[in-house]
Amino acid sequence: MLLAGFVRRELRTDAPMLELRLFRNAVFSMAVLARLSGFIAMTVSRFLMPIYLISLRGLEEAAAGGVLFLTSLGMGIAAQGSGRLADRFGPRPFAVAGFAVSLLATLPMAFLGTGSSLVVVMLLLFGVGLGMGLWTVPNNSIIMGSVSPSRMGVVSALTNLTRNVGNVTGQALAASVVAAVMAAGGFDIPLSEIADSPGAARSFIAGWRWAYALAAAFSIAALALAFRTRSAFDLARW
């Protein structure tokens, strides 16, 4: 009821806190939803991977940090060129490619186990970063290009809000899924202790697979939305 009341008030007031009327724009709505889905999928990996590396695989914190850095490295490399190329050829192809790469890197993570090669893990993390670096800037360009210049400030704040909501939602979903699967298996122990019990480790991996299946589903949703979204650049060519 409170949410419904808030939405109703925001749609009626002349000075809304959150400009919900922007979502009447189909391009804007699909691009924002793609962004939200992409951040949810990415955050599942960012939340669970440190637990996998440190608690399950026994890596030291410094070594795990080095492995996780590959995601940032991939993102930095891809982001360097995606923005410039998107300005030249249009943002939509790069947003689609980015979400596709993210999906291809996220889906195999569901099948990782205690004996998986760390080289494979590192390559997948690098791929997640590449995908994110490819889609973030073009997706932002599509969002900004779908509204009038007078609303740029509001939209900029909304894109940051979308990222934060995606991060929080991804963490909550990952934690809830893993905790629920482990509880169903009779394991109510700190995640730092899962390596001490083979049963707990298997239960964690089962929850991990469900969580990554969910992340892959959000990646598919983001890819589908990006594929259907036409940017102002694309429309201008028609």
Q: Are 72 and 129 in contact (CB under 8 A)?
A: yes
Distance CA 111, CA 209 (A): 7
User: What pLDDT score was predicted for residue 199?
Assistant: 86
Q: Which two tokens stand for residue 102?
A: 């993210």
- Mean pLDDT is lowest, of 1-5, 128-132, 159-163, for 1-5
Sequence-ordered list of residues with C-beta below 8 angstroms from that of 237, at least 6 positions apart, any chain: 90
For domain 26-231, give the fold: Growth Hormone; Chain: A; (1.20.1250)
User: What pLDDT score was predicted for residue 222?
Assistant: 95
**Which run of H or of E encompasses 215?**
helix 198-228
Closest among 187, 218, 219 to 204, alpha carbons compared:
187
Q: Are 78 and 95 in contact (CB under 8 A)?
A: no
User: What pLDDT score was predicted for residue 15?
Assistant: 55
- Answer whether residue 60 shows pLDDT above 50: yes
Average pLDDT over every residue of 104-128: 94
- Answer whether residue 195 shows pLDDT above 90: no
Average pLDDT over every residue of 158-179: 93
Q: Per-residue pLDDT tens for 90-100?
A: 888 899 999 99
Q: Which two tokens stand for residue 27?
A: 């391009």
Residue of higher predicted confidence among 18 and 87: 87
Q: Per-residue pLDDT tens for 72-84?
A: 999 999 988 887 8
Q: Report the percent of the chain where pLDDT is more than 70.
A: 87
Q: pTM for the whole thing?
A: 0.87
Q: What is the DSSP track for 118-153? A: HHHHHHHHHHHHHHHHHHHHHHHHHHHHTS-GGGHH
CA distance to 35, 49, 116, 159, per residue, from 164 (Å): 11, 19, 31, 9
Residue of higher predicted confidence among 65 and 195: 65
User: What pLDDT score was predicted for residue 80?
Assistant: 85
Burial of 158 (0-12, 13-18, 19+ CB in 10 A): buried
Q: Which two tokens stand for residue 142?
A: 């599509």
Q: Per-residue pLDDT tens for 224-238?
A: 999 888 754 454 443
User: What pLDDT score was predicted for residue 83?
Assistant: 78
**Which run of H or of E encompasses 16?**
none
Q: Report the percent of the chain where pLDDT is more than 90.
A: 53
Q: Which two tokens stand for residue 200?
A: 């707990």
Residue spans per domain, the chain: 26-231
